[in-house]
Structure 1
Amino acid sequence: MTLRLYDSSTREVRDFVPLREGEVGLYVCGLTVQSEPHVGHVRSGVNFDVLQRWLRAKGFAVTFIRNVTDIDDKILAKSAEQGRPWYNLAATMHRELSKAYDSLNVAPPTYEPLATGHVPEMIVLIEDLIARGHAYPAGDGSGDVYFDVRSWGEYGSLTRQGVDDMEPAGDADPRGKRDPRDFALWKGRKESEPETASWPSPWGPGRPGWHIECSAMAGKYLGDAFDIHGGGVDLRFPHHENEQAQSRAAGRPFAAYWMHNAWITTAGEKMSKSLGNSLTIPAVLQRFRGIELRYYLVAAHYRSHVEFSFEALEEAAIAFARVENFLERAGESAVDPAALPAAFVAAMDDDLGTAAATAVLHDTVREGNRRLAAGEDATAVATAVRTMLDVLGLDPADPAWTAAGGGGGADEKLSAAVDALVRGLLEERAAARADKDWARADAIRDRIKVAGIEVTDTPDGPKWTVD
């Protein structure tokens, strides 16, 4: 069957034809490591992990690049607020991001380049754009360099906007710009910024703009033209529009397909740090296993918005438990690509239709349970189930889940049971505190402590760890 993908640039589902037979170059914009990753952050990682797994299942050799932005305005601002070096904040949050991905069995990309490791490639690209008449150094002595949006007639083609309909770029001081919509390729160092956050360049010490980073890193590892560029839908403008413009203005064809995953919302708004409605991965994993959270994210189509709630996550966990229960009852099984049901393959080939694919998964589980109830052998059905789960990154027997502590083994289930019991006691304690029954609240805490569990009260609620 032919894989069909929704291309954001043409706004249609079309047959996927790779540039090189049997090979796929996939680039996904990674995160800016300014703070702990939350559920909304990791959705992109999970969705594109499923894409690269399906591409490999279809026999493609995939080169998968997912970058990390480890220098930008937000990192400098947050590190200054916290009184720590910017590179310390970036490195610490990068480790937190890696742990979050591991906890959800997001396979590592082929390469994970850091923006700070590719400044020379960015300078070369900027010089090329200046030479071609598509970029210019600011005339105000700031050391900034801007992309001239009016010099590139195709600017706005990705998001189908006219230049005059766009808001001015907000990533630099407008004084040195020819047009308020011109965006920064290079940012001259300001006196208020640490010297360590700047690199030498033909325009003076400074650092790269956000958009030039991805163009340079994609070109470094995938070449001037590659197959798929992915990221969150919020990146379409200005980030991806600017990436495409500067790359093609430099003579690089860049991405053939654009794919964007939708938001996870809370109360109808995009989940984000700025809105104060984020849910960090460690906090969620105190209540649910990583495999359950991944199932929750995978069960929705990547282009559909998901309204997050713990009630919905609980329902997803119950649904996934039915799958695990069947596999346990069916006994030993294996992963066999030849066992994939045709309906599952059709769903995945239809723009990575994981919602329909998980429906096939549950239909297959029901058939397996019917066979077991009738005293029949269900090994073949279990093999089909495990193979579908493997494609979705949800196979409980995958050693990655044991390593992440989020799989379906006995130890993990015991941990989940203990967590449920402790949470029940903590809810009782919270009710006692709300009633100002301090003696009862302290008694409950003491009961928990005697069991070897330490409780810490945080702004996000009580957290517990084994002492």
Structure 2
Amino acid sequence: MGIQLYNTLNRKIEPFKPIEEGKVKMYVCGPTVYNYIHIGNARPAVVFDMVRRYFQYKGYEVTYVSNFTDVDDKIIKAAEEMGEDVMVIAERFIQAYHEDTGALGVKKADIHPRVTDTMPEIISFIDRLTEKGYAYESGGDVYFRTKKFDNYGKLSHQSVEDLQLGSRIEVGEKKEDPLDFVLWKKAKPGEIKWESPWGEGRPGWHIECSAMVKKYLGETIDIHAGGQDLAFPHHENEIAQSEALNEKQMANYWIHNGYININNEKMSKSLGNFILVHDIIKQFDPEVVRFFIVNAHYRSPINFSDEQLESAKAGLDRIKTTYSNLQHRLEETADLGENRDKWQGQIEELHNRFIKEMDDDFNSANAVAAMFDLVKAGNLYLREKHSSKKVLQSFIKRLDDMAFVLGIQLKQEKALLDEEVESLIQERIDARKNRNFARADEIRDELKEKNIILEDTPQGTRWKRG
């Protein structure tokens, strides 16, 4: 049957048909980098990493692009509060994003474009929209003529008339219409800025993604993804800009993940219940956090709580214990097992069920259930008096396949001995003395992956096992 997915654009499950056979061009909206990411930001990072992994598992060549918004009102405000340069703040939290999502098993995108590196393309994009009459300059700002784009509202399934209700022109705005949105903002005194045909300023939020999609993936892509909160107005405005300019459909499929609630309450700044990944992974194994996220259908809302994480931990431990036991039995067995066909058939049946569930709109919740059934079968097999290497290898292979798609690591790496840790720390100290900071960072990252946490103190570098 192949992969079927829910397309927000048409509000129904549709078969996936790539633009180019065997290839997927996928764009995922990334973070605005002014702070550490919270658990709500982590969900799309994990979910769409899983989607990419599944396409790859099915044999597709995936080009995966996820951006960084590294200039924005929020970053400017954070820089003012901290008394630091905007670019310094952005760089710090881009690195923090990679650290936090890397801990969650998220592979880096093939391309991580930044707004500040895409400025010529953004300015050109706006200029061409102006030439076509879709954009206009007003007092140094540039706005998009929303009503000129006939299909505005097609993603959020709202009419222009419905959207106009309650909309108004804010003080200081010089719009022709309340629905028009900003493409270019005139610089305020002291703000970071770029030269443009309309004077010094910086881009609006929506135009950035349109320009990056076109630059790195083309005028029409297979999949555009992001959180449910981005469908309107961000993705709606992207469609308007891109399709007005290119006169082509921007993306064939739009995928959106659901919200995360915190202890049964919607996560919001007013409630003060934002939980940073940076803090969560100090308390819980990052892999447990990832397993919690993938153990639910990506479109469903999920409730984040310590109890849910403890449940995820228990489930993941169960899978890892069985996997370890299968590996130990494989090392010991002399291949005397019988009833191979029976067990091989059951293994493949459960693997096929996993595939069927993932084919059905990436239903990882049911796919995890199939994985648990495979674990249950593995435990039953381990009770048999004699084992077959071939059957054990099949159990391990299929668990590895499922783990790859879900993004969890079942193979346990050999722990570093104390003397090995001390040797690497000394190498790092020497590298820092020689100003080889790249090597020093590599060693820190290598040790972190081995659950060795370093702390640089006035008395020297200390370490502990995480």
> Which category describes the TM-score, using the shorter chain as reference length?
0.7 to 0.9
Q: Give 2:205's aligned residue.
A: 210
Give the Cα separation in 2 of the matches to 1:250 and 1:230.
21
Residue of 178, 181, 188 corresponding to 1:180: 178
Aligned partner letter, 2:6: Y
Aligned residues: percent identity? 39
2:306 corresponds to which residue?
310
Query: CA separation in 2, counterparts of 1:107 and 1:5?
Result: 22
Question: 1:106 maps to what in 2?
Answer: 106
- What RMSD, in angstroms, separates the aligned Cα atoms of the two structures? 2.8
1:285-296 mapped onto 2 (5 Å cutoff): 285-296=281-292
Contact 1:113 1:217 in 2 (8 A): yes
Q: Does 1:200 align with 2:195?
A: yes
Alignment match, 1:352: 362
Q: Distance in 1 between matches of 2:233 and 2:131?
A: 24
TM-score by length of 1: 0.82
Distance 1:206 1:275, change over 3 A: farther
- For residue 190 of structure 1, what is the amino acid of its counterpart? K
Shift of 1:171: 10
Confirm whether residue 153 of structure 1 aligns to residue 156 of structure 2. Answer: no
Letter in 2 for 1:366: K
SS in 2 for 1:302: coil
Q: Counterpart of 1:381?
A: 395
Structure 2 Cα separation of the partners of residues 55 and 386 of structure 1: 16
Q: Label 1:320 to 1:36 Cα distance change in 2 as closer, same or farther (>3 A).
A: same
What is the letter of the counterpart of residue 391 of structure 1? V
* 1:282-338 per-position Cα deviation (integer Å, ceiling 9, x unaligned): 32112211111111111111001111001110011001100000011111689xxx9
CA contact (8 A) 2:260 2:267 kept: yes
1:265 is matched with 261
Deviating more after overlay: 386-395 vs 342-351: 386-395
**SS state at 1:175 partner:** coil
Q: Does residue 392 of structure 2 align to residue 392 of structure 1?
A: no
**1: CA distance between counterparts of 2:170 and 2:404?**
45
- How many Å separate the matches in 2 of 1:98 and 1:172? 37
Q: Is the 8 A contact 2:169 2:178 kept in 1?
A: no
SS of the residue 1:125 aligns to: helix
Answering whether residue 274 of structure 2 is matched by residue 278 of structure 1, we say yes
Letter matched to residue 188 of structure 1? K
Q: 1:287 to 1:405 in 2, by over 3 A?
A: farther
Q: TM-score, normalised by structure 2?
A: 0.82
Which residue does the alignment assign to 2:68? 68
Of 242, 247, 250, which aligns to 2:245?
250
- TM alignment of 1:448-467, pairs within 5 A: none
Corresponding residue to 1:219 among 211, 214, 221: 214
Q: How far apart are 1:405 and its partner, in Å?
A: 7.3
Relative to structure 1, the CA distance from residue 126 to residue 171 in structure 2 (aligned partners, 3 Å threshold; closer, same or farther) is: farther
Contact 1:7 1:13 in 2 (8 A): yes
Do the aligned residues in 2 keep the contact of 1:40 with 1:272 (CA within 8 Å)? no
Report the more deviating stretch, 372-381 or 313-322.
372-381
In 2: Cα distance, 1:169 partner to 1:34 partner = 28
Query: What letter corresponds to residue 231 of structure 2 in structure 1?
Result: R
Q: Over residues 164-211 of structure 1, what are the superposed CA-to-partner deviations in whole Å (9 max), with x where a residue is unaligned?
A: 3226779975531001111000001112x42xx110000000000000
CA distance in 2, matches of 1:234, 1:65: 19
CA contact (8 A) 2:263 2:305 kept: no
Aligned mates of 1:369, 1:404 — CA distance in 2: 34
Structure 1: segments with no counterpart, 5+ residues: 417-453, 455-463
Partner of 1:362: 372
Distance 1:264 1:231 in 2: 14
- Report the equivalent of 1:444: none
CA shift, 1:88, in A, is 1.4
**What SS class does the counterpart of residue 284 from structure 2 fall into?**
coil
Residues of 2 paired with 1:113 and 1:327: CA distance? 39
